[in-house]
């Protein structure tokens, strides 16, 4: 996001200020009045485009709350605070692809930017196709589609909870990271395989893990995924429960294959129930402050995910995301079925790749399998490889990577031979078989 694209530095700001001041003074304290204000601010072109929002406000107005302590006036207050929160010397750098940069914002700065987005004051950045929606925060899908109303409730709960006079202390820090190794490095890595705590509860959620772990966001390469337009999978739900994350959509370019986005200091503002079509707002959050990393898996890889090219891609993506540097150490990483939902990843393969990457860093994992039948053997695999009776010389990152390369080669050979009609041996069975063989050597790796 360029400094010149901040809402209060645009030519139309004086006009917008008049509307915002009237909103703050109660001039639009009704469903229809608020929708008229959105037209004046440019969020929509005409009032008839806000019929869905009017219906929402009429049915759920108790959450939005009109009046002196209502969310409508709070939105106006936050937007009007932009010149104070972002004085001329304050910059919001773009987290550009290929860079290792960071953006640090106060909670109020995040809230003001999101309020401006909701009110239609954040313009698109037409020169940048690498930003989601070219950096325009547009919430209009939330009120056009009744199925998105639960997201509106989450956002309004967040706005209602923002402390305009919050004392200095907490910051929200967005860090773009880059890491990569060759496949030869991975296959030769002698770091020992670390422990993994497996939680198979079907309703377990990564953000509910105790302590202060690193939370893994099963991200889209354009962070936030479908949070503003129809999505309610793991990434979108993390963003809705912690709305400060949505600020990243303004300045984070698409993640390359060796990049991730780590965010520290975001507050859990609301609770939710369900997933996908069953998602619904469930009240105020516990205000827990968390650290998470947006880590995008290869999308729809099919059998290609067993190739050396994609094995390397996923190993590097995971090690980049789980690396404590440059932010600092954490007690463990909470993860699970990364890239195994709509992205179509193999659950066994993804679990083993994350294990290898975490072990290369000396990081312990808490793995939430959410009752996935494909992962029932995971505890057995862990015992066979790093249990008390396992061969300690074999239990290295390099051994596991060599085993996965060999498994991938065999899988692809079977696919070619059988014309895709047989799924062949799973990754867990391949590792279990390798763990019972003598010796620690594995196949040579073609990629360097």
445 in helix, strand or coil?
coil
User: How is residue 50 written in tokens?
Assistant: 């806000």
CA 335 – CA 296 distance, rounded (Å): 13
Q: Does the active-site annotation cover 236?
A: yes
Say which residues have a Cβ less than 8 Å from residue 447's Cβ, sequence separation at least 6: 182, 183, 184, 308, 309, 312
Please state, as a whole number, how many other Cβ atoms lie within 10 Å of the Cβ of residue 197. 13
- Classify residue 131 by its DSSP letter: B
Q: Which residues contact 59 (CB under 8 A, 6 or more apart)?
A: none
Active-site annotation holds for 77? no
DSSP state of 127: T
Beta strands, E only, 73-122:
102-105
Give me the catalytic one of 5, 140, 235, 259. 235
Interatomic CA distance for residues 85 and 66, integer angstroms: 25
- Of the residues 5, 148, 207, 236, only one is catalytic, namely 236
Q: Are 186 and 180 in contact (CB under 8 A)?
A: no
User: Would you say 294 and 235 are in contact if contact means Cβ atoms under 8 Å apart?
Assistant: yes
- Asked if 235 is an active-site residue, the reply is yes
Considering the candidates 77, 150, 217, 259, report the single residue annotated as catalytic: 217
Region at 241 (left for phi over 0; alpha for psi -120 to 50; beta for the rest):
alpha
| Residue 264 phi, psi dihedral angles, 5° rounding | -120, 145
CA atoms within 13 A on the CB side of 216: 27
Q: Which residues are catalytic?
A: 217, 235-236
């Amino acid at each position: 996001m360029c400094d010149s694209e901040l809402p209060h530095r645009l030519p139309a700001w004086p006009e917008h200020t008049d509307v915002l001041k009237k909103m703050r003074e109660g001039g639009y304290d009704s469903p229809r009045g608020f929708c008229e204000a959105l037209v004046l601010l440019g969020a929509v072109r005409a009032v008839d485009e806000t019929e869905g929002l009017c219906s929402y406000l009429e049915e759920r107005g108790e959450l939005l709350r009109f009046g002196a302590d209502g969310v409508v006036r709070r939105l106006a207050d936050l937007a009007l605070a932009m010149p104070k929160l972002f004085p001329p010397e304050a910059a919001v750098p773009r987290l550009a692809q290929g860079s290792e940069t960071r953006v640090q914002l106060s909670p109020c700065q995040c809230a003001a930017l999101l309020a401006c987005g909701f009110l239609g004051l954040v313009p698109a950045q037409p020169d940048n196709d690498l930003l989601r929606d070219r950096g325009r925060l547009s919430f209009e899908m939330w009120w056009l589609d009744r199925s998105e109303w639960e997201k509106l409730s989450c956002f309004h709960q967040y706005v209602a909870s923002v402390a305009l006079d919050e004392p200095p202390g907490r910051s929200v820090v967005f860090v773009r990271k880059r890491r990569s190794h060759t496949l030869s490095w991975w296959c030769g890595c002698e770091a020992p395989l670390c422990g993994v705590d497996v939680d198979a509860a079907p309703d377990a959620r990564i953000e509910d893990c105790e302590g202060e772990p690193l939370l893994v966001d099963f991200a889209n390469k354009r962070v936030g995924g479908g949070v503003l337009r129809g999505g309610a999978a793991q990434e979108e739900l993390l963003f809705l429960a912690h709305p400060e994350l949505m600020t990243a959509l303004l300045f984070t370019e698409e993640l390359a294959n060796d990049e991730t986005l780590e965010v520290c200091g975001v507050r859990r503002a609301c609770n939710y129930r369900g997933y996908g079509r069953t998602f619904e707002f469930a009240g105020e959050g516990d205000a827990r402050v968390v650290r998470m990393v947006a880590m995008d898996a290869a999308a729809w890889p099919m059998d290609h995910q067993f190739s050396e090219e994609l094995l390397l891609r996923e190993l590097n993506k995971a090690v980049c995301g789980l690396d404590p540097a440059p932010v600092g150490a954490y007690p463990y990483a909470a993860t699970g079925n990364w890239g195994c939902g709509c992205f179509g990843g193999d659950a066994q393969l993804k679990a083993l790749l994350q294990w290898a990457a975490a072990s290369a860093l000396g990081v312990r994992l808490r793995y939430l399998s959410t009752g996935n039948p494909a992962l029932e053997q995971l505890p057995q695999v862990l015992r066979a490889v790093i249990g008390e009776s396992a061969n300690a010389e074999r239990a290295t990152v390099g051994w596991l990577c060599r085993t996965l390369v060999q498994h991938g080669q065999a899988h692809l050979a079977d696919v070619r031979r059988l014309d895709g009609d047989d799924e062949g041996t799973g990754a867990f069975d391949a590792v279990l078989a390798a763990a019972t063989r003598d010796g620690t050597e594995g196949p040579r790796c073609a990629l360097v």
